[in-house]
Structure 1
C-alpha cells in the first residue's frame, strides 16, 4: 500500500518513529506518515499498539489528530500510520517570536486544547505527554497528536514513573512511584498556556531534582497533607525546606485576571485540587468562546460521529459557575522500543484498526467532593466506532503565523533526549 504514496520530505523524528510528508498518488492529497522504527512480527502485536487503539477510539473529533490508514508490511515488519497533515506545532509557532501571541489567540488555542483533553478523559484515556511539540495547528484549528504514551484511565496503578517531557511533568509524577492520574494532563496544559503567553517555559528543570526545586521556587512547597499523601506511595522518604514561592512570573502584564485564574487552577500542586478539563471549559476565561460556539451555525455531522454513543454528564458540570475540582483517576508505561525481530514474509496490506482495551471495571473511582460528581459516568457502555478514511482531504496550506524574528527574551536549551522535532 505504501506504493500509493510518494515521499515529499522529512518533517521530524522521535525516539520511536520518524514523520514524513507524503503525497497520495491516487488523489493527490498530502498526509503525514508516521513510520515506526520498531519492527512488528504479527498483526496481534500491531493491534496492541496503544497509539492505534487510542486514535481509533477517539476519532472522529475536531481537536484530535485524524488517523486515515494503518499500513503494516508483514514481510519487513514495518508499520506506518497515515495521519492528516498539519501546518506546524505550538513549539514551532512560538519559536523565535519577539512578541507573545495575543491573548485572544491564546484563548482560542487553549479552549480547543481543553476540548481535546475533555473528550479524551471522558473516553477513558489520558495522554501523559502533553507539550508544545504534540499540539498541532492548521489554519487556527488545534489538534492533539502523538498518543504513543497514553494509557487507559481504568488500568491499575502504579504507572511508569518516568513519563512525559520533564518540563511539563506534574509533581505527582516526580514524587511518587507511579501513582498519578489523568490530572497530570491539566498540569502540562497549564505549562503550555504559560509558554504561549511568555515565550518561555514555566519550569525548565535540568534534572528531576532541579525540576522540583523550580516548581517550589514558583508555587512554594506543598502542604503537609499533600506531602503525606505523596509519601504513602513512595518507597523513599523526602522532606522539603519550606518555601513560600515567588508566584507565577508576570512576564506578560497584558494577561487578564481570568487567564491567570485558569493558569493557577491548572498548576495546583495537589492533583485533587487541580481543575479538570471539563471544568476548565466552564471557566470564566472561556466565556467568549462558549458564546461564539452557541452563535455559530450548526455544522453537518460526519457519518462516523453517529456511531459515537452519547455519554451522560453530571448536572453540576453543566453549570457556568466554575469551582475547583477534587477528583482523580489512574494509568501505566510507555511503548518500549524492542529489538528487531525475524522478518516474516507476506504481502503489505491495510489492517483493520483494533478495539480499545479498557481493563477492569467501567466505573471510574472518584475522590470525595461536596459539589462535584465524577466526570466519567458510571455504567456507561463504550462502543468503538468504525474508522472510515475520508475520500478527500484538503491539501496542505502553510499559514503565515510563524515569524522569523530573533527573540530578545532569555532562551533555554530544551532536553535533547526528550525534545522531539517537527510535528504531524
Structure 2
C-alpha cells in the first residue's frame, strides 16, 4: 500500500470499506476495497470467490476491472485495487424528479444483461445484483462486488439469506437454498423497473411482506410452481389467491417491448423466466444490437483495412495472390544474393555426370568452358563451344592434349602455378 495515497472514503459495507486511492507510480485514481477480515496465508487469499471470479471474468467491458491484489502477510490485511467508477445506479437515480429517457434505460439494461450473460456463461452467478453494485462511468455500466458469487455447478442448497431483500427472487424466499443463476435475472428485472420508474418494484419490510408485495403485483403463482417450492421447504405454505395488479399499470410510460422484457425477467417460476442470453436477443434491444454490430464492423475495418485486388472473376484471385508471392520471393532472393555487374561476373560450371570424375565446384572465365574428356593419355582437358561459335579457332585446332596453357583458378598442378 506504500505505492498508493489515500484520497477519501467512498463507502462501507458489512465485510469491507471502499477508499479512493491515487497511485504514486502512474498518478491514476483507483478504488481500494479493504477487507475487514484478516487472512492467514496467500492460499487463503487466492481461494476467495471474489478474487477467483474477477480473475476469470476479466477483461470484459461490463465487469469491474481488478488491477491488483495487495496482501500483507504480517497483519493479514487484504486490499483489492479496482477500477474507479463515477457512481452507482442508486446514486444516479437518487433524487431525480424525472426518469431517464427510454434510450438511456435501454443502453444501461443492455450492458447489464451483457455482464450477466458473460458471467453465467463462465459458470458464475452473482447472487447480489442491486443498484448499489452496478457502477457507471461515462454511460458505461459495469457490474461489481462479487463477494457473494457462487459457481453455477456447485451443489445445492445454497445460503438462504444472501441477496438484498428487495431484489430477492421467489425461489430464494420460499425454498431452503434451492435456487440457480436465474435469480440474477430476477434481480436485474427489479433494477430495470427501478431505473425506469425511480421507485423500487418490491420494497418489502420483511420476508413475509416481501412475498406479499410480489403477490400484490404479479399475483399468486400457479399450483405447480408452489409444488416445486414445497418439495425443498421444511414448512408448507398456502397463500390466499391474488390476481395481482400487473406491472403494466406501473409502466404506462414505457414501450410495449420494454414491458414485455420486464415481465419475462420477473417471471415467478424460474423455469419460465428468461435467461440473460435470451434477453439480449429480445426485440427491445434490436437498436442496441444493430449499433453494436456497426461499431464492431467499423473497428474491424480500421484494424484490418481491405486491400484492393486485381479486376477479374473471383475464381482467379488465387492466381493473382500466387503471382504476388512469387514476386516477393524473387525480390527477397535478389536482396539476399545481389547479382554482380561488369566483366568480372563469373558463371558457374554446369554439373557433370561422368563416371569416376570428381564434381567441380570451381568457376571459370566466361570466355572459355573446359571439361575433362577421355584421351590416349588418360583424362585430359577438352575445350567446349562457347558463345554460339560453330568453328574452332586456329589456336584450338593446333592445341595438344598435354598443353598447360589453360588457367583454372581452383585446380593446382604439380610443378607449375595456377
2:199 is matched with: 200
Q: How does 1:10-409 map to 2 (within 5 A)?
A: 10-248=9-247, 250-298=249-297
Contact 2:20/2:31 (8 A) holds in 1: yes
Report the Cα distance in structure 2 between the residues aligned to 1:299 and 1:89, rounded to whole angstroms: 30
Q: Please give the per-residue CA displacement for 1:285-329, whole angstroms capped at 9, x wherever unaligned.
A: 00000010111145879xxxxxxxxxxxxxxxxxxxxxxxxxxxx
Report the Cα distance in structure 2 between the residues aligned to 1:229 and 1:271, rounded to whole angstroms: 10
Q: Please give the per-residue CA displacement for 1:216-271, whole angstroms capped at 9, x wherever unaligned.
A: 00000010000000000001010111110011163453200000000000000000
TM-score normalised over the length of structure 2: 0.71
Report the Cα distance in structure 1 between the residues aligned to 2:152 and 2:129, rounded to whole angstroms: 16
The residue matched to 1:197 in structure 2 has which SS?
Answer: helix
The residue matched to 1:148 in structure 2 has which SS?
Answer: coil
What are structure 1's unaligned runs of at least 5 residues? 302-424
TM-score normalised over the length of structure 1: 0.70
Report the Cα distance in structure 2 between the residues aligned to 1:270 and 1:253, rounded to whole angstroms: 24
Report the Cα distance in structure 1 between the residues aligned to 2:296 and 2:275, rounded to whole angstroms: 28
Report the Cα distance in structure 2 between the residues aligned to 1:68 and 1:104, rounded to whole angstroms: 32
The residue matched to 2:70 in structure 1 has which SS?
Answer: strand
Q: Please give the per-residue CA displacement for 1:346-384, whole angstroms capped at 9, x wherever unaligned.
A: xxxxxxxxxxxxxxxxxxxxxxxxxxxxxxxxxxxxxxx
Report the Cα distance in structure 2 between the residues aligned to 1:298 and 1:42, rounded to whole angstroms: 47
Distance 1:71 1:299, change over 3 A: farther
Q: Select between 265-274 and 244-253 the one with higher mean Cα deviation.
A: 244-253
The residue matched to 2:259 in structure 1 has which SS?
Answer: helix
> Which ranges of 4 or more aligned residues in structure 1 deviate by more than 4 Å?
297-301
Aligned residues between the structures = 300
2:406 is matched with: none
The residue matched to 1:272 in structure 2 has which SS?
Answer: coil
Report the Cα distance in structure 2 between the residues aligned to 1:251 and 1:228, rounded to whole angstroms: 29
Distance 1:24 1:163, change over 3 A: same
Report the Cα distance in structure 2 between the residues aligned to 1:37 and 1:95, rounded to whole angstroms: 28
Pick 1 or 2: higher relative contact order, CA cutoff 8 A, min separation 6. Answer: 1
Report the Cα distance in structure 2 between the residues aligned to 1:252 and 1:267, rounded to whole angstroms: 14
Contact 2:219/2:241 (8 A) holds in 1: yes
| Aligned-pair Cα RMSD in Å | 1.1
Contact 2:248/2:259 (8 A) holds in 1: no
The residue matched to 1:201 in structure 2 has which SS?
Answer: coil
2:5 is matched with: 6
